[in-house]
Amino acid sequence: MAVSAHVDTFACDNLPARELWPEILDGHEAYTYPERLNCVVPLLDRWIAEGRGDAPCLFSPDGDLTYRELFELVNRTANVLVHDLGLVPGARLFLRSANNTSMVATYLAGLKAGLVVVATMPLLRAKEIAFPINKARIAVALCDGKLADEMEKARPATPGLRRIVYWGTGEPDSLERMVERASPVFEAVDTAADDVCLIAFTSGTTGEPKGCMHFHRDMLAICDGFGGHILRATQADRFIGSAPFAFTFGLGIVLFPMRIGASFVVLERAGPDDLPPAIERFGATICFTAPTAYRAMIAKLGAHDTSSLRKCVSAGETLPRATFEAWHRATGIKLIDGIGGTEVLHIYISAAEEEIRPGSTGRAIPGYQAKIVDAEGRDVPPGTVGRLALRGPIGCRYLDDPRQTNYVQHGWNLPGDSFLMDEDGYFWYQARSDDMIISAGYNIAGPEVESALLAHPAVQECGVVGAPDGDRGQIVKAYIVAAPGCSPDDALARELQDFAKAEIAPYKYPRAIEFVAALPKTSSGKLQRVELRRHAAETVLARASAT
C-alpha cells in the first residue's frame, strides 16, 4: 500500500480491519492504476494538458462550461477549501445540493484537494443530515443556499460542525464570492490510489445508514468497467440523467463522460416531465434514470424531439420486462439494465445492447466475478434461486460499522439480492432477499408480480409485498397507482387479479389489491417496500383490533 497523503487520518483509521475486506480482483488490465493517483487529474486536468480545454464539458439551464472553464472553477474552489477554510488532505467535506454546476465543481474540488467528500441527497431533513456529519466527524459543510433551512436546523445536533458555507446567496461570505477572489491555479494533491476520497452513505432503508468508503482508483474503476465495457461511449456523446450526484448511480453521469472527454447535462429537476424537453434542448445521447421514469416518459415522447438518444441505462430498481418492451417499441432503444450498489459504487452486472436478454439483468462485467450461494454461503448450481455474491476491483468497506461482516463473507460481497443464474452466466433478478414472500410454503418474488401487473395498461405503478395472514403466513398484496382515466375500483382489482393469474403461476397472484395515489419512494427514486410492508402489517392489525 502506497504512503497516504492524508494529514487527517480519520478515514484510514476507521477502515475495517484488512481481514474483513472482500477480496479485490486487481489483475484485470482495465483496472491497472499507478500507486500515486488523484482521480481528478485523469478526469479533468488531462484534457487541458492534451489541448482539449475548449471542448464542451458541462451543459445546464444556467450556462455551459468548457473543460478549461470547469478546470479553472474547480481550481478556484479547491483554493477556497484549502486556504480560506483551512481543510487539509483527509478532512471530510460535506456537500448538500441538488444537481447543479456548483455541486459538480465543489465535488471535484474536494477530490482534487485530497479531501474525503460526503455528498447527501437534497431532500434529507435535519435529523438525516446530522447523522453523516456526526458519523464522519465533519467540520465544514458546503450547501446550496436554497436548502439552508434544514441545514440550519441540523446545527444544534452537530456540535463538531464548525462552519457552513452557502452558495447562490450572493452574500459577501458566500462560496461564489470567495471563489471569485481565489486563484485559478491549483496543483492536485499527490494522493495514493488507495486513499479514501468518498464516503457514500446508504439510504438507511434497512436500518441506520452505513458509510461506504471508496478510493481514488475506485472512481476510475467504475468508468473503466461499466463505462468502458458496457456503455462504450465516445467523445461525441452527451450524458443526461435524473439520479442525484450524491447517489452513486448518479455519479456516473459526471464521471463516465469526463473519463473519455465527452460532455454531460446537469439538471436540478430531472423527473419524467423534465427529461424529454431537456433531451431535446441539449441533444443528449445517453440517458440514466429509473424504470418507473422510463415508463412514465413514454406518453411524453411525442411532444419532444428525443431522436438524439442512442443509449439508455436503467438502474436503481428492477427493470420489469413490460417496461423494457414498451420503451423499445416507443424508441427502438434497448434499455441497458444493471445492478450495482453504494457498497460497490456502481453497476457490476449488466449487458451491452447486442447481448441483452430481456428480463435478465445481464452478466458480470469484465473484471468482476459473480455467483449464487445458499444461506450458508455454499455455491449452488445454475437454475437455483439463491443469494448473489460478487467480487471485483471495488468492494465494501464500511466506516466503523459492525455490519461489515454481514455484507462481506468469505471474501465476497453479499448485496442482499436473490438471483437465479442460468447456464450461460446471465443473472435473473428475483427480489431483495428480504422481499421474498413466503405464502403457504411458496417462495414468491414481489418484483416478479410487479412486472406481471405492469404489463396491464391500467397499471401506472405498483409495489408488491407480503401481508401477514393467519392461514397462509403471508399473502401477496399489491399497491397500485392506476393509470390516468382508469377507475380504481373492485372491478378493476378483480380484472388485475385474473390478468396476473394468466401471466404468472396462479399461486403468485395478488390476493389483496389496494389502490393508492402514490407509492413511497426514497429521495433517489427507489420504491420503499419496507414502508409498504409496514402499512400492510398495520392494516391487518387494525382490522383485527376492530373485530
Question: Which of 411, 451, 417 lies closest to 432 in space, CA to CA?
Answer: 417
Give the Å distances, CA to CA, from 109 to 15, 116, 263, 270: 23, 11, 18, 24
Q: What is the pLDDT of residues 254-281, one digit of tens each?
A: 999 999 999 999 999 999 999 999 999 9
Q: Which pLDDT belongs to residue 527?
A: 84
Sorted by where each starts, the structural domains of the chain and their CATH numbers stand as 231-433 (3.40.50.12780), 440-546 (3.30.300.30)
Place of cell 469526463: 258
Q: Which residues contact 384 (CB under 8 A, 6 or more apart)?
A: 372, 420
Q: Which pLDDT belongs to residue 434?
A: 65
Q: What is the pLDDT of residues 338-379, one digit of tens each?
A: 999 999 999 999 999 999 999 999 999 999 999 999 989 999
Place of cell 456503455: 231
Q: What is the pLDDT of residues 52-85, one digit of tens each?
A: 999 999 999 999 999 999 999 999 999 999 999 9
Q: What is the pLDDT of residues 404-419, one digit of tens each?
A: 999 999 999 999 888 9
Q: Write phi, then psi, for 355 (nearest 5 degrees).
A: -110, 5
DSSP conformation letters of 74-127: HHHHHHIIIIIS---TT-EEEEE-SSSHHHHHHHHHHHHTT-EEEEE-TT--HH
Give the Å distances, CA to CA, from 501 to 162, 437, 449, 490, 508: 59, 17, 10, 17, 7
Cell for 258? 469526463
Record the pTM: 0.84
Confidence band for 150, pLDDT divided at 50, 70 and 90: very high
Q: What is the pLDDT of residues 7-64, one digit of tens each?
A: 999 999 999 999 999 999 988 989 999 999 999 999 999 999 999 999 999 999 999 9
Q: Which pLDDT belongs to residue 15?
A: 98
Q: What is the pLDDT of residues 217-228, one digit of tens each?
A: 999 999 999 999
- How far, in Å, CA of 314 to CA of 332, rounded? 15
Q: Which residues contact 9 (CB under 8 A, 6 or more apart)?
A: 90
**Residues facing 419 on adjacent strands:** 386, 429
The answer on pLDDT for 433 being more than 90 is: no
Residue 401 Cα to chain centre, angstroms: 21
249 or 444, which is more confident: 249
**Residues facing 444 on adjacent strands:** 437
Confidence band for 441, pLDDT divided at 50, 70 and 90: low
Place of cell 426514497: 522
Cell for 317? 430498481
Question: Which of 141, 290, 313 lies closest to 233 in space, CA to CA?
Answer: 313
179 by DSSP, 3-state: which? helix
